[in-house]
Amino acid sequence: MAGDFSGCTARKKNRAQSIEYNPVKTDGSGENSKQPTNPLTTRSGLRVYKIVILGDGGVGKSAVTLQFVSHSFLDYHDPTIEDSYQQQAVIDGEAALLDILDTAGQVEFTAMRDQYMRCGEGFIICYSVTDRHSFQEASEYRKLIARVRLTEDIPLVLVANKLDLQSQRKVTTEEGKTLAKQFGCPFYETSAALRHYIDEAFFSLTPPKYHRYQSELHAHLNGSLSNSTLAELRELKYGKEDPGGTDDCFYKILNGESLTLEECFKKFQYAHDLTERREALERATERVIEDFANDNVIYLELRTTPKCTAHMSKREYLTTVLDVIRKMSKSERNIIVKLLPSIDRSKGVQEAMENVNLAIELSVTYPDTIVAIDLSGKPFGTAFSDFVPALEKAREHGFRLALHCGESEDEQEVKQMFALGVDRIGHGTFIEGENLAFAQKHNIPFECCLTSNVKCKTVPSYEDHHIAKLLKLKQPVCVCTDDFGVFQTSLSQEVQICATTFNLAKEEIVQMQRNAVVYSFASEQEKKELSSQIDQFSKTIKEK
């Protein structure tokens, strides 16, 4: 999520004649070209961002827009001439206004389109997964925008709506991805009826500048399954029919309703149940990587505990995830993905050693993908010293160690972890005194997951989060999501929370992104390439 959105107003009127553009000369021919200038627009002191949603009639443009601004769904909507909606937002740390033009898809209204396209600063091209003609027309809308604006550099999102009508699907997910790849833009399959991926589609058009070129260093695979992905996996396993015994929580997920903390944690149970087969695990891994890529993440370290299910061995489970990572790394998406196999403390020391041995074995086949070992799970009822032999074996092989550390007030355990050698600290909520001094002396980075800690109540509020202390001490930190699906957040949202809560300047956020690359387990060449991208982009960041 790109910004903090609150409050909205909507109005409907035909105002096509009020849209203005300024003709300018673009060459030496002396002829005027109607290329848009898009000067900064303000209204009541707020920066206005003009978003235009385009697509054939009947694809659900109005339903998508109404769901975004009012969280409501209408089964029927009169044919649109033009609807104009406004939504307040915080973008680049400042109050702003989204001005959304929901355009007509009917033929008789096409004369208005050029004017929409000239004034727009971001575009959503929408088609229906149940209508192949609307999918084919998406390319025509893309050409029209380029023709009117005289540029191929267009802020654009491709949206495939009516995901809930799977039985009527005529356009595959892969076809949509391929088209978005041709457009060079994010792609979302949405359901206006179920409110799936509606916010993400709009927010991706207005990310604060410093939310780009991000690195995610602490993300668990099963905890990063969005509501939409869980619904997709449920249908993959059970089909359209209710399998029986579906609880109220999953119905809330399907309907896009807010969840309690207890209901959030049930997502782990659902994720385990819905990914017991290879095809489902492949789909889940693909969706998680896509979601991070759509959130402007260019480097991702995923964590998962090898699982033995009714249909897969641990080895098959891990190779499935690794194969998806390898496949998607070749799909030309601008994201590098690494894997950290996890040791779950609650599973005991025997499984810990099994997981390390499996990671060592597979690292021969996937040498550039398996980069470290994660230690996670509830610290209560287990002794860290019992896991030291497995972790020492991992380190001797050359794996880095990312340990969930200081999640409880156990100073001795933290000392034991530091004595072993930890490359990054997961959370570190209760690291104080001598242990904090040790971390400072050795520049050990902290992986800070703000919303996760607040919702789990290990910290009372964002304002009281220990990242504030770490930033003041200039301790290495990186902002992470932990489980963005469980806690219904995103890396962009976590960065935004950090920036606004602790009054960080844009340059400070960009520097944190540079630092995250340094703290990552990427190769030196990959770090060099990632840093170069951030350095090039940072030149465009200017304080107002």
Please give the structure tokens belonging to residue 134: 């609307």
Cβ-Cβ contacts under 8 Å for 356 (sequence gap 6 or more): 341, 343, 373, 390, 391, 393, 394, 397
Give the active site residue among 407, 413, 447, 494. 407
The Cα 98–Cα 226 span in angstroms is 25
Pairing state between β 8-12 and 24-25 = unpaired
Cβ-Cβ contacts under 8 Å for 75 (sequence gap 6 or more): none
Cβ-Cβ contacts under 8 Å for 22 (sequence gap 6 or more): 36, 37, 39
Pairing state between β 82-91 and 156-161 = unpaired
Residue 376, SS3? strand
Among candidate residues 342, 358, 413, 353, the one with its CA nearest the CA of residue 380: 413
Is 447 annotated in the active site? no
Is the alpha carbon torsion for 178, 182, 188, 191 positive or negative? negative
Neighbours of 75 (CB within 10 A): 6
Question: Could you write out the DSSP letters of every residue in 422-491?
Answer: -SEEEE-TT--HHHHHHHHHTTPPEEE-HHHHHHTTSSS-STT-THHHHHHTT--EEE--BSHHHHT--H
Contact 270/254 with Cβ under 8 angstroms?
A: no
Question: Could you write out the DSSP letters of every residue in 272-332?
Answer: HHHTSSHHHHHHHHHHHHHHHHHTTEEEEEEEE-----SS--HHHHHHHHHHHHHHHHTTT
Residues with catalytic function: 407
